[in-house]
Amino acid sequence: MCYGFVACSCLHKATLALRCQETRSTSGGGEERRGEERTSGCTHARTHAFGALWSCHLRCQSFFQFAVMAVDHLSGERATAQFDVEVMKVYLAGGQREHEIATRMAQLVASDPIFSKEDRVRLARKDLYKASIRKAGHAWKTILEKGLSEEESMKLRHFVDEPTFTDLHWGMFIPAIKGQGTEEQQHKWLSLAYKMSIIGCYAQTELGHGSNVQGLETTATFDPATDEFVMHSPTLTSTKWWPGGLGKASTHALVYARLITDNKDHGIHAFIVQIRSLEDHVPLPNVTVGDIGVKFGNGGYNTMDNGFLRFDHVRIPRENMLMRLATVTKDGKYERSDKPRQLGYGAMVFVRQGIVIDASNYLSRAVTIAVRYSAVRRQFGNKDEPGELQVIEYRTQQSKLFPLLATAYAYRAVGFWMKWLYADVMERLKNNDFSTLPEVHACTAGLKSIATSVTADGIEECRKLCGGHGYLCASGLPELYAVYVPACTYEGDNTILLLQVARFLLKTLSQIGKVKPVGTAAYLGNVKQLSTQNCKVSQGHEWSNPSILLEAFEARSARQAAAVALRLARGSGSEADFQENTPELVESARAHCQLIVVSKFIEHLQTETIPEGIKEQLMLMCNTYALSQIVENAGDFLATGYLTGKQIALAKDELKHLFDKIRPNAVALVDAFDHTDDYLGSALGRYDGDVYTHLYKGAFKESLNDTVVVDGYEEYLKPLLTQNLWGPQSKL
Amino acid sequence: MCYGFVACSCLHKATLALRCQETRSTSGGGEERRGEERTSGCTHARTHAFGALWSCHLRCQSFFQFAVMAVDHLSGERATAQFDVEVMKVYLAGGQREHEIATRMAQLVASDPIFSKEDRVRLARKDLYKASIRKAGHAWKTILEKGLSEEESMKLRHFVDEPTFTDLHWGMFIPAIKGQGTEEQQHKWLSLAYKMSIIGCYAQTELGHGSNVQGLETTATFDPATDEFVMHSPTLTSTKWWPGGLGKASTHALVYARLITDNKDHGIHAFIVQIRSLEDHVPLPNVTVGDIGVKFGNGGYNTMDNGFLRFDHVRIPRENMLMRLATVTKDGKYERSDKPRQLGYGAMVFVRQGIVIDASNYLSRAVTIAVRYSAVRRQFGNKDEPGELQVIEYRTQQSKLFPLLATAYAYRAVGFWMKWLYADVMERLKNNDFSTLPEVHACTAGLKSIATSVTADGIEECRKLCGGHGYLCASGLPELYAVYVPACTYEGDNTILLLQVARFLLKTLSQIGKVKPVGTAAYLGNVKQLSTQNCKVSQGHEWSNPSILLEAFEARSARQAAAVALRLARGSGSEADFQENTPELVESARAHCQLIVVSKFIEHLQTETIPEGIKEQLMLMCNTYALSQIVENAGDFLATGYLTGKQIALAKDELKHLFDKIRPNAVALVDAFDHTDDYLGSALGRYDGDVYTHLYKGAFKESLNDTVVVDGYEEYLKPLLTQNLWGPQSKL
């Protein structure tokens, strides 16, 4: 029984009321869609359909809420789950405490209208930016007001869920000062930064220079006469370009520039430069600064003021150079400290660990939307059964969707391991043990590279898996892609990072017999054995054996690395030779990184801390990830001679068996990511699966629907329709 | 000598002036970037940098124009070309006449400020839409004013370059009436539509029903008492959803609905329904219509009013059903005509031919931008040489970029062939010869599918190949992707189309020995031979032999098709069995389609109409396309046993040789696509390669830069900086 039906009987309401009634008597989605409508005719809807519908719609919001709360189109899906979703939620959150904090912060954000994301894709840039700095400030106020811990504050910002200047202030400006500033400098600047008396950004990239930091052109020339540095942008290409928070918000910038003393270039160093007045926010003299313009996508990074910055001989005190690792004395003498530069590696591992966890998070959001929608959406039928089939039943859909689901789980597991790795590195650094650093650097660089690339492509794949509706911003997916894809470029371009991994692999191979490879490269010690023994799989189910999977990845990676090393050994050994083989080197590095993910996921599942109730599902995710990677990269496994075409066919068959095991758990497996409807911001990915009601409802928020007759009709459409193109009313 | 330098000497101008002077004395890009600046200090710039720069910038626009016109950073690249670009332009345009029309229409659009795309990514939806209907109307006025031919009109709209309601009016509404209307109906409706006295759209897709047309729920029930049809939307999911032009512009809709007479459902038929008043454009009674909301990306399809539409028992005259293929008489009798339904295939081939040509065009735009920018951008160096290297020199860049360049050429060649195919089909239909239709249907469905998928992914790949700057809308690439990607969904979802191809392949194989396969499926007649003979390549250069390439694609496709056919033959033959094998079926269909592209490109180059001066480059493109597809799909070629790992390695080596041949011609090969700067709308893809000047210049158009201190500072930033979060000025 639905009370809304009595209060208002226009077409729209009647349909919804009916939906509500029907879905109460049936479980699962879809059955009610062809139900006939019992409206007896709504007079105001008949006289002026759109306007009436709209006003009626407004009046009946409360009914709408009621109708919405009452359905769960996915309850049938949830009933088939074979594990305890709540246990999985806690596991994925990283523990009970983390889960509790996340839940609380998600609710805090969802319940505060200032943090609403509702209009984000509809706002013009200026309004979007204004709303964003408001949210950033409001988040800070909330943090102070509620006395949130650092962990809680980070979670709060996480759920506010849009890029903003404070990301750079907390995530780059402050850590850089911590890492590169002397104790005195830290005391001075951090005390200001911690209370946000200054807003800082991180100005490294230039218009003409990205990944190659050594190519930066901005200069900081020491003038002993005044004990100052003169900051200068000598060319157009030296313009700082891209730093987030620089364009409109920051008062200070951490500027990377070539240090010049006495006509000598000492390379790139960091300087703190005030760029805006603390009185009125006006840029300081000789500082040219602004926003670089609109970026990819609706919402997305357009909430961020990525900026440009030029200096025309701007003077700063000598003390503004960060001097922990190198100093310039009052008389212009340059000295490098003898502190090991490796000390900075801890921060790098920390950042990359965060990026991999982030990748898992973003991918899991896209997968949640696509899995839920695929369970709601129906299309075509099976000749043998009546009605249309849920899209999630189709093998073509499963073969794209389920591997992505498994990947989100795999990256979560790898993220957990990287947390341990970070702790391990920090411990070693404390004891001046730098032995594992090359391996750690290669492994984290590689994981950053593949996790971000796979995630960006995966989000877009999920969008495509939602068919036409995925193209609507109401799906939440266009924004998600737009906001995520820069991760492939920042913190190291992904191709360049893979080449660094490749160099490490080459070096490791060249030292076999002399130096024992460690950690994630240890398998290379067995390169000979891995190069000769081929896979023994002869039946499909063997492909679900972790040790068989692991060996396959080790063999493929070892063989690819050995093959490219051999090619290089036969060459001249020149840099040009290396360049010539970069495509193969990149492939080899990617193979190594995929192995790391597989091996760490398997390793993780062998620890004792995983509750038994969810272990089976995690193993299913692990096997699905590994096997789908084998199928996807079949060319590598075949070309190295480790697998045969027959074994690949068996892998494909086994994968289908795994998909059958995932199918009844699919919705529960995404529920376990615990994304709230507010955080997902998607009509397609709603928890209750009430997709169509919310797509339809969403259309009424479109600004073009503000008026019945569209703005521009008189000037541009009417002259057409009335053949009055040259008439006085026409503005064509 | 640069006069601008004299007129204004602020920092910005000085730098540009210097660039201008220097680039005149050097050729090629990049050399001047480190040139030291000779400004003697501009006082107004020093006192209030931003504002002064801005006003100065405005005053000196004329200088700026001059500076811009004077450089060509890519002249060095053009000097190394080994073919006549002008000849290639004419070839790619499809002939001298086509080239002339395209050039003239491109200029016409570029010179008319109403058609400017400048602000597109910066406008809020309402303003964007308004500007778009103005352009559409202005285009129509221009067509009438200049008396343009149909061909010229199409080109004009092509260069206006944004989706708008007239696309559907001319491209779907009118053709559907032509195809499905009786002569009388055509006369009535087309006479109105041709002069735009009515605006029509094509309302097929519903909220709950996309690709499965038979699942549509809208009903058209005949009422013999009044000789009318009653149009009705019985459920929420029956709401028409997505039709372009429906949301705000159209007066009429071609509505697909279930025809019901005397309680009998006759399936889906087409009806013309007026939805808005021709007097005041207000929706008619019982019609609920509006725009469905914001879509993916900046600009993009947001210029289009994709709409929703609901009917509450709307009555239309019986004559409004299009009755060429089926009729309903006054007394409600339903009759199917005996006209062969295949007659509609001609239109389908025509549309798909256009889509493949379009794919080539869109991909070529992205490739033009990425190639030119890769030649301008420099990054890192080769230890053996001074300075940074052009990004286009890197093998990793080439191995992604050059195959896409070759693909754009390949699709162009296939497009030419499809034009012939269309003429052939029309000729056969005239003679009631339907023998080739199944093959034509499969081949065009498959080509539509792979061309659009590859192009969408290729555009995004080009964006990524432009590094960080590709993420700026100023690159032109975000808009290009956003506007193109729906092509993967409309006119048939790409996965569903491939399954149709697969069904055709299965049927063809099952008839071998009984029916001789024709056209693009002819090779399947040799399936036995192709399944047993393996590739003979033992040296890299053999991979540049067209017949070797062709055989490889034939063998792989025949083997994949035979393998999946065998799997199905061993099964129960049920629909469920087919579903179980859909991933393999899709792969097999894709292999078949890649073969078609390769074979048609090779065939095309063997015709005599290609001028000798460009034939070598076209063969280079053909070989690059084919070989890169082999490397990319190595898994298939290896798994079927046709190639060995060694042969794949040789293919990779040969591909690098091809890249070396492309390298000196790369910029000329994209110049030949003949895209004007106006059409490309990209700072990165400019003809003159003056990338950085235009990125920098572009930033000044950003609305956030309208004021020195950003809107929102007082309420949201100042309270933070002054620790006055709870103060009266704070709105946090």
pLDDT (0 to 100) of residue B53: 43
The answer to whether residue A127 scores a pLDDT higher than 90 is yes
Q: A16, A41, A71 — which closes off a domain? A: A71
Which pLDDT value is given to residue B693? Answer: 97
How much is the mean pLDDT over chain B? 90
Residues of B within 8 A of A710 (CB-CB) are 129-130, 133, 248-249, 281, 305
Instruction: Give the span between the Cα atoms of B628 and B402, in whole angstroms.
Output: 9
- Partner B, chain A 293-352, Cβ-Cβ below 8 Å: 293-298, 301, 305, 308, 310, 312
Q: Answer yes or no: do B289 and B357 share one domain.
A: no
Residue A165 near residue A199, CB atoms below 8 Å? yes
Contact across the interface for A305 and B207, Cβ inside 8 Å: no
Answer for the pair A562, A579: CB distance below 8 angstroms, yes or no. Answer: no
In the set A491, A551, A554, A587, the catalytic residue is A491
- On whether residue B135 sits in a domain, the answer given is no
Statement to judge: residues A333 and A359 lie in one domain = no
Query: Which residue pairs, CB below 8 angstroms and at least 24 apart, start in B326-335?
Result: B326/B259, B326/B266, B326/B269, B328/B222, B328/B259, B328/B261, B330/B224, B330/B227, B331/B224, B332/B222, B332/B224, B332/B261, B332/B262, B333/B261, B334/B259, B334/B261, B334/B264, B334/B266
B699 to A293: CB separation less than 8 angstroms, yes or no: yes
Secondary structure E strands in B262-371 = 264-274, 287-291, 307-311, 314-317, 326-328, 334-336
Q: Which candidate, A601, A600, A594, places its Cα nearest to that of A615?
A: A601
The answer to whether B582 is a known ligand-binding residue is: no
The pLDDT assigned to B45 comes to 32
Q: What is the CA radius of gyration of chain B?
A: 29
Instruction: Classify residue A380 as left (phi > 0), alpha (psi -120 to 50) or beta.
Output: left
- Same domain for A599 and A711: no
Query: Do residues B627 and B665 both lie within one domain?
Result: yes
Structural domain contains residue B28 = yes
Q: Do B310 and A495 touch (CB under 8 A)?
A: no
Active site residue B228: no
Write down the pLDDT at residue B508: 97
A258 and A203 housed in the same domain? yes
Reduced to 3 states, what is the DSSP secondary structure of residue B203? strand
The 3-class secondary structure across B580-643, one letter per residue, is: HCHHHHHHHHHHHHHHHHHHHHHHHHCCCCCCHHHHHHHHHHHHHHHHHHHHHCHHHHHHCCCC
Nearest-CA distance B157 → chain A (Å): 15
Report the C-alpha gap between A318 and A228 in whole angstroms. 5
Q: What is the mean pLDDT of residues A556-582?
A: 93
List Cβ neighbours of A602 (8 Å cut-off, separation of 6 or more): A546, A549, A550, A622, A626
Query: B690-715 pLDDT, tens per residue?
Result: 999 999 999 999 999 999 999 999 99
In the numeric block, which tokens belong to residue B132?
């778009």
The 10s digit of each residue's pLDDT in B377-400 is 998 876 666 778 999 999 999 999
Distance in angstroms (rounded) separating the CA atoms of residues A580 and A569:
13
Domain boundary among the residues A671, A688, A713 is at A671
The share of chain B scoring above pLDDT 70, in percent, equals 90
pLDDT of residue B729: 87
pLDDT of residue A494: 93
Residue type, B639: A
Q: Does any domain span residue B246?
A: yes
Residues B453 and B536 in one domain: yes
CA distance B295 to B27: 44
Q: How far apart are CA B237 and CA B57, in angstroms?
A: 54
- Candidates B126, B396, B706; nearest CB to A711: B126
Interface of B with A in 601-660 (CB under 8 A): 633-636, 638-641, 645, 648-649, 652, 656
- Which residue in the list B491, B554, B587, B654 is annotated as catalytic? B491
Give yes or no for B115 touching A (CB within 8 A): no
Backbone angles phi, psi at A304, to 5 degrees: -100, 140
Which of A12, A33, A463 is facing B208, going by the closest CB pair? A33
B205 labelled binding-site residue: yes
Tell me if A720 sits within 8 A of B144, measured CB to CB: no
- Classify residue B681: in a domain, yes or no: no
For B316, half-sphere exposure in the C-beta direction (CA atoms, 13 angstrom radius) is 26
Give the integer Cα–Cα distance in Å for B160 and B117.
8
DSSP string covering A39-101: ----HHHHHSHHHHHHHHHHHTHHHHHHHHHH--TTHHHHHT--S-HHHHHHHHHTSHHHHHH
Q: What is the pLDDT of residue B70?
A: 60
CATH number for the domain spanning A275: value is 2.40.110.10
Same domain? For A423 and A559 the reply is yes
DSSP class of A380: S
Q: Do residues A678 and A110 lie in contact, with contact meaning Cβ atoms separated by under 8 Å?
A: yes
Task: Tell me which residue in B15, B130, B696 faces A712 most closely, judged by beta carbons.
Answer: B130
DSSP A10: S
Residues A72-86 pLDDT 10s = 999 999 999 999 999
Same domain assignment for residues A319 and A354: no
Tell me if B448 is assigned to some domain: yes
Question: Tokens 């007001």 appear where?
Answer: A145
Q: Is residue A461 part of a domain?
A: yes
Is A218 part of the contact surface with chain B (CB cutoff 8 Å)? no
Of the candidates B439, B462, B436, B406, the residue with the CA atom closest to the CA atom of residue B597: B406
In this predicted structure, what is the pLDDT of residue A382?
A: 65
Contacts of A380 in chain B (CB under 8 A): 211-212, 215
Shared-domain flag, residues A431 and A311: no
For residue B578, the one-letter residue type is: F
Nearest by CB: A716 against B122, B134, B493: B134
Same domain, residue pair A352 and A252: no
**Residue A576's pLDDT is what?**
87
Give the tens place of pLDDT for each residue, B319-339: 999 999 999 999 999 999 887
Extract the tokens encoding B117. Answer: 């795309």
Residue B150 token pair: 């149909």
CA-to-CA distance for A271 and A259, rounded, in angstroms?
A: 9
Backbone angles phi and psi of B267, in degrees to 5: 85, -170
Q: Locate the chain A residue with the closest alpha carbon to B493.
A: A467
Note whether B234 and B273 are same-domain residues: yes
| A718 neighbourhood in chain B, CB within 8 Å | 281
For chain B positions 458-487, those within 8 Å of chain A (CB to CB) are: 460, 463-464, 467-468, 471-474, 478, 482, 485-486
- Residue-level pLDDT at A398: 98
Q: DSSP characters for A240-307?
A: EE--TTTTTT-SEEEEEEEEEETTEEEEEEEEEEE-B-TTT-PBPTTEEEEE---BSTTTGGGGS--E
Q: What is the ipTM of this complex?
A: 0.92
- Residues paired with residue A309 on neighbouring β-strands, in sequence order: A240, A289
Residue in B33, B394, B709 closest to A281 by CB: B709
Residue B310: beta bridge partners? Answer: B288
CA distance linking residue B30 with residue B479, whole number of Å: 28
Where is average pLDDT lowest: A37-41, A432-436, B49-53?
A: A37-41
Mutate to test the interface with B, among A36, A144, A235 (most CBs of B within 10 A): A235
Shortest CA distance from B197: residue in chain A: A721
Nearest to residue B464, comparing CAs of B559, B525, B374, B557?
A: B374
pLDDT at A708: 95
Which domain CATH number covers A664? 1.20.140.10
CA distance, residue A80 to nearest chain B CA (Å): 22
Q: Counting Cβ atoms within 10 Å, is residue B48 exposed (0-12), middle (13-18) or buried (19+)?
A: middle
pLDDT at B163: 97
With the C-alpha atoms ordered A528, A532, A536, A542, is the resulting torsion angle positive or negative? Answer: positive
Q: What is the mean pLDDT of residues A288-304?
A: 96
CA B258 to CA B270: how far, in whole Å?
9
Q: Is B15 on the interface with A (CB under 8 A)?
A: yes
Q: Is residue A268 part of a domain?
A: yes
Q: Are B175 and B229 in contact (CB under 8 A)?
A: no
For residue A699, list chain B residues with Cβ-Cβ distance below 8 A: 290-293, 308
Task: Give me the mean pLDDT over the B108-117 stretch.
Answer: 97
In this structure, the answer to whether residues A405 and A389 fall within a common structural domain is yes
Report how far apart, in Å, the C-alpha atoms of B173 and of each of A110, B199, B251, B317, B350 are: 45, 9, 12, 19, 15
Radius of gyration of chain A (CA): 29
Nearest CB neighbour to A234, from listed B37, B294, B692:
B37
To test the contact with chain A by mutation, choose from B232, B288, B294, B711 the residue with the greatest count of A C-beta atoms within 10 A, namely: B294
Q: What span, in angstroms and rounded, lies between the C-alpha atoms of A448 and A593?
A: 9
A-chain residues near B195 (CB < 8 A): 723
Contact at 8 Å (CB) between B405 and B462?
Answer: no
Among candidate residues A71, A92, A112, the one where a domain is terminated: A71
Domain of residue A220: give its range: 171-339
- A285 pLDDT higher than 70: yes
In a domain, B81, yes or no: no
Residues of B in contact with A576 (CB under 8 A): 382, 384
Number of domains in chain B: 4
